[in-house]
Amino acid sequence: MRYGSVTAVDGLSLTVEPGTVTAILGPNGAGKTTTIETCEGFRTPQSGTVRVLGLDPISDGRKLKPRVGVMLQSGGAWSGARAYEMLRHIASLHANPLDVDALIERLGMQGYGTTPFRRLSGGQQQRLSLAMAIVGRPELVFLDEPTAGLDPQARHATWDLVSELRDSGVTTVLTTHFMDEAETLSDQVHIVDAGQVIASGTPQALASSGAKNTVRFTARPGLDVVKLMHALPHDTKVDEVSPGAYVIAGDVDPALLATLSAWCAGEGVLTESVLVERQTLEDRFLELTGKALR
């Protein structure tokens, strides 16, 4: 998918299983929104194939509209329309909509139902856009950064809602910059960079792939870290990062901890604290996409 000379999405390939939550992660400008908007039928790719619920998002757009919910990254409502009016209007276009009042209460929108969209705060607009995306009971919902700008309460309410959508069999595809959101909500994560998928998997599998975990322990300063390194498995690094504070980086498993304990016992060293640190999805994301700003 190109915009003039800019190739925004470049041979990106992914499949989403029905009834699951899929998170598309990536640095700014990676091509996430372009990918989602192509699936929504708002953009025509110059090459490649897109199928949504087995249909073509553009030529089958009329058939897909009642089955797919869309929350755009911004906007999506008429600027002068009042929040309730807008939501009731969208609900009236669907055969079997959700209860609008219950949804308003659920998303804490009672206080601004008669406020025109353009006068809502960013977070209030986000909530209305989310409500508009799901009020028609879609089979598939696309949420582009659904919790950007939301306060923690609204974020958690959104997470609960997405989990309930999954429980009721709805398929969700979302983008987010919040790694904890992806870890909490999604069954499958795809990391996109420069218009391509560079890593895929469950959040847990992705977090534990790549760089190794670490063990931090404290003991008396000046331990012979080279000697300790020789006692531990190959590819394990040991550093005294500050006097008496040691970090072991490597393939951390029970055998490594047992070896560390035995080595310390043999040296007459009492470890004061031993902490195994798991690599997070964010660590892996930064490892894959680099730390440079985009």
Q: Does 26 bind ligand ATP (CB under 6 A)?
A: yes
- Total count of residues recorded for the chain: 294
Q: Which of 165, 159, 260 minimizes the C-alpha distance to 216?
A: 260
Q: How far is CA 19 from CA 37, 105, 168, 241, 242, in A?
A: 20, 25, 8, 46, 49
Report 6-25 residues binding ligand ATP (CB under 6 A).
6, 8
Report helix, strand or coil for 122.
helix
**Stretch binding ligand ATP (CB under 6 A), from 29-37, 183-191, 227-235, 255-263:** 29-37
Q: Does 33 bind ligand ATP (CB under 6 A)?
A: yes
Q: Does 30 bind ligand ATP (CB under 6 A)?
A: yes
| DSSP class of 110 | G
CB of 7 to ligand ATP, least distance (A): 8
Among 14, 19, 20, 29, binds ligand ATP (CB under 6 A): 29
**Stretch binding ligand ATP (CB under 6 A), from 2-10, 55-63, 74-82, 208-216:** 2-10
Size of interface with ligand ATP, in residues (CB under 6 A): 11
CB of 289 to ligand ATP, least distance (A): 11
CB of 291 to ligand ATP, least distance (A): 16
Rg (CA), the chain: 24
CB of 270 to ligand ATP, least distance (A): 49
Q: Which of 215, 290, 223 minimizes the C-alpha distance to 249?
A: 215
Report helix, strand or coil for 158.
helix
Nearer to ligand ATP, 6 or 270 (CB): 6
CB of 127 to ligand ATP, least distance (A): 19
Q: Does 126 bind ligand ATP (CB under 6 A)?
A: no
Nearer to ligand ATP, 26 or 136 (CB): 26
| Angstrom distance (rounded) from CA 125 to CA 54 | 31
Nearer to ligand ATP, 8 or 21 (CB): 8
Among 5, 15, 28, 273, binds ligand ATP (CB under 6 A): 28
The DSSP element (H or E) to which 193 belongs, if any, is: strand 188-193
The DSSP element (H or E) to which 3 belongs, if any, is: strand 2-3
Among 22, 23, 25, 32, binds ligand ATP (CB under 6 A): 32
| Angstrom distance (rounded) from CA 76 to CA 125 | 9
φ, ψ for residue 198 (rounded to 5)?
A: -105, -15
CB of 144 to ligand ATP, least distance (A): 7
Q: Which of 173, 197, 181 minimizes the C-alpha distance to 20?
A: 173
| Angstrom distance (rounded) from CA 233 to CA 206 | 23
Nearer to ligand ATP, 176 or 279 (CB): 176
- Note the residues at the interface with ligand ATP (CB under 6 A): 3, 6, 8, 26, 28-34
